[in-house]
Structure 1
């Protein structure tokens, strides 16, 4: 096995320099080698790993430069990750994953790097992203920026998107993450119905998680819809979700569960049948998990012995989730469809005012805020 294989495997497994050194030592010893004939130390391991990473990155960059894209979109997202490459392995560091999409040879995008940054400010993220664009020779091909809708990214003056646009010295498309915008909307609906949650873990969801194993899941409650236009939306929603779940490349697990629960709430059966996943721990900021809890709470409200007011609120919430929110969420990754989807969603909410003015107004108000109009 070559050094590059050892280093790559160690990085993939997240092994520290000390762990790699110890593993090499015991492997050599087990093979009958005389350790005195080898230079084995943590510092040697570290130097070799750094050199190997450098050579690998240069090979990747050389291969990429042979067929550079004519146009590309820049994506970045900050993450707290355990540092296995720095001076203090095992600690967590603020990192920035930066990639581009658009190159034909990389249909899933090309990762440019995951540098450690001093802070998550817009300035730090813009500088790190720009450094990688320059290193890969891509500053002249970026036509769009894809980012989460946090203040550090979308700020008018010091947001990373604005700063990158200034450094690129041209106008580019802003493709703000649609799912983050939608999270604001459903968060406003929940708060409107049940009030603001001040604790780290939603007490409604904590109670539901604690009693989940005591529930009988063979007869879930489904929505009863009488209005003609809502029944039409119901049919459309079921067709959309069934098609998504039957596709060759189904969505990731939590999105798939949302689509399947929505079908069950609407009285339909998902393609792979009805399956119930155990509720996982949920913080107040995780909106996708909030929707999964809300649908299950409605379907088993009778066993949970909620009062009539709570049941009605859950029914209203699930009507919004099932007919409008989930289909919008599942199509939110299609940037080209976003304008038409947004307009249709707004049109539906204006019509939904006649059914539930409180929820519709909360959505429209926040949609107006997030769109900047």
Structure 2
């Protein structure tokens, strides 16, 4: 179950397994926005649809106090109503944005308004220039790829022969560039801004900017015009930062701004961008969070203040390294069989509790296990790691076998598919918030808001597959 906030409406979305799309249930009006009130409204919506609360496996939420409060938070109250623990799936997009915003704050003071003045200035500079260039030479590419300021690869990579391990920046850059190249090859982007961020990272790190046959993508370099910007969403800011750095040879900035943009563009390309864009992968969440933490730990040698602020933020959001969630790594294809075996052995050595007491996950034991050397994911396993199996009620005999044979087990296959379908980002709730913004004002009767929104969503779904030509034929 997912929820988000818009003004005094609280959109509630229900997500299921497999091809079942997230379903908008309603947007009840909340007056105070407290955790108790939010929980009550969610339970009322479930009752309207005759959905038993015992069927709720997980809650997906932004990490606000009204959702996560240890006493009065909505998730706490929801568990108390269900009378057993569920999975607390903090929105991973929200987590990633919090981490990078704290790193950004080490360079720039907080902006009072909704827009960053530097980005607004860049937008005003870029748009007239792009129009002028298009009018003068419609067939020419703007901006010229030759003016792009790319990331300068460190000497330990460019020198030959190279001896010894690469520096942290080279290591991160190699991984990020290879990941971006693979994403552009597969060309499976849920949203165009995800594609734009991936392309910007790839170009910035030196990827081929011709119609790049090297990665077999039928698109050459194309910088899109600067779009929407809002201080509440750092992904848009990250695209701005990369564009500003790429065009820094022709766009004048103050010396301090240039330094900030250069440092933040590197952080976006090497750390934040890949982490954010991978964050919707539920079963990879424990591995990604551990990798991100130790990447930041190593990055202290590059940007001490920013890295430490990022680490402090990560320690406050250990949602997917707690015992209840770390077990997701058993279904991550990128975790080695050796590591999976350690996790499985640690789990089966512990008795499965008959009852899992409700309560907010405790980060402190996880933080204490974060030493200077990256540990095995198995160290985070406790008796509460059995919660996932309790909720899905599937056979666990496969845990006693070798990981290489797990895919042969129907129970493993089913649980793998269920966990991969599980939502760990709040995109569906954000889509519902947008629906509230679009449709809620079409009626003055608060009791009809849900009906109007549901009709609007149904109308959009019916027309979503149509092309412009189809609509012209209808007209």
What TM-score, normalized to structure 2?
A: 0.56
Q: Secondary structure at the match of 1:303?
A: coil
User: Which runs of 5 or more structure 2 residues have no equivalent in the other structure?
Assistant: 131-141, 157-165, 319-362, 365-475
Indicate the SS of the match to 1:297: helix
**Of the two, which has the highest radius of gyration?**
1
CA-atom RMSD in angstroms: 2.1
Q: Which runs of 4+ in 1 moved over 6 A?
A: none
Deviation of 1:369 after TM superposition, in Å, equals: 2.6
Q: CA 1:369/1:311 → structure 2, altered by over 3 Å: closer, same or farther?
A: same
Cα distance, 1:115–1:244 mapped onto 2, change above 3 Å:
farther
Q: Which residue matches 1:303? A: 250
Structure 2 distance, partners of 1:178, 1:97, is 19
Matched, 1:194 2:121: no
- Picking from 214, 217, 227, the partner of 2:143 is 217
Q: Describe the shift of the 1:211–1:335 C-alpha distance in structure 2 as closer, same or farther (beyond 3 A).
A: same
Name which of 201, 211, 221 aligns with 1:274: 221
**Structure 2 counterparts to residues 28-43 of structure 1, below 5 A:** none
CA, structure 1 residues 191+166, in 2 after alignment: closer, same or farther (shift >3 Å)? Answer: same
The Cα shift of 1:138 comes to 2.9
Distance in 2 separating the partners of 1:248 and 1:266: 19
Larger RCO: 1 or 2 (CA < 8 Å, sep 6+): 2
Aligned: 1:364 with 2:344: no
C-alpha separation in 1, matches of 2:260 and 2:116: 16
Counterpart of 1:170 (choices 84, 109, 112) is 84
Aligned equivalent of 1:283, options 210, 230, 244:
230
Partner of 1:343: 290
- Structure 1, 212-221 or 337-346: larger mean CA deviation: 212-221
- Render the CA deviation track for 1:318-361: whole Å, top value 9, x for unaligned: 11110111110011111221111111111111111112212211
Instruction: Return the match for 1:313 from 227, 245, 260.
Output: 260
Does residue 75 (structure 1) correspond to residue 2 (structure 2)? The answer is yes
CA distance in 2, matches of 1:246, 1:138: 43
Cα 1:200–1:111 change in 2 (3 A) is closer
- Answering whether residue 36 of structure 2 is matched by residue 123 of structure 1, we say yes
With over 3 angstroms needed to count, the CA separation of the structure-2 counterparts of 1:136 and 1:190, relative to structure 1, is: same
Q: Secondary structure of 2:150's partner?
A: coil
Matches within 5 A, 1:132-211: 132-134=45-47, 135-211=49-125
**1:57-72 map, 5 Å:** none
Inter-partner Cα distance in structure 2 for 1:194 and 1:256: 27
More strand per residue: 1 or 2? Answer: 1
Shift of 1:223: 0.6
- 1:243 aligns to 2:182 (yes or no): yes
Q: Tell me the CA shift for residue 102 of structure 1.
A: 2.8
Partner of 2:24: 111
Shift of 1:151: 1.9
8 Å CA contact 1:178–1:333 kept in 2: the answer is yes
- Partner of residue 265, structure 1: 204
SS at match of 2:5: strand
- Shift in CA distance, 182/301, structure 1 to aligned 2, threshold 3 Å: same
Structure 1, unpaired ranges of 5+: 1-73, 81-93
List per-residue Cα deviations over 1:175-217 (Å, max 9, x = no partner).
0001111111111122211222223321111111110132662
Contact kept in structure 1, 2:293 and 2:311, CA below 8 Å: yes
Distance 1:248 1:234 in 2: 21
Matched with 1:23 is none
Query: 8 Å contact 1:189–1:363 — kept in the other structure?
Result: yes
Distance in 1 (CA, whole Å) between partners of 2:237 and 2:94 is 14
CA distance in 1, matches of 2:68, 2:125: 41
Q: Measure, in 1, the Cα distance between the counterparts of 2:233 and 2:223.
A: 20
CA contact (8 A) 1:245 1:251 kept: no
Q: Deviations over 1:100-126 (max 9, x none)?
A: 2234461x2333333343343322321
Tell me, in whole angstroms, the C-alpha distance in 1 between the residues paired with 2:197 and 2:19. Answer: 32
SS in 1 for 2:279: coil
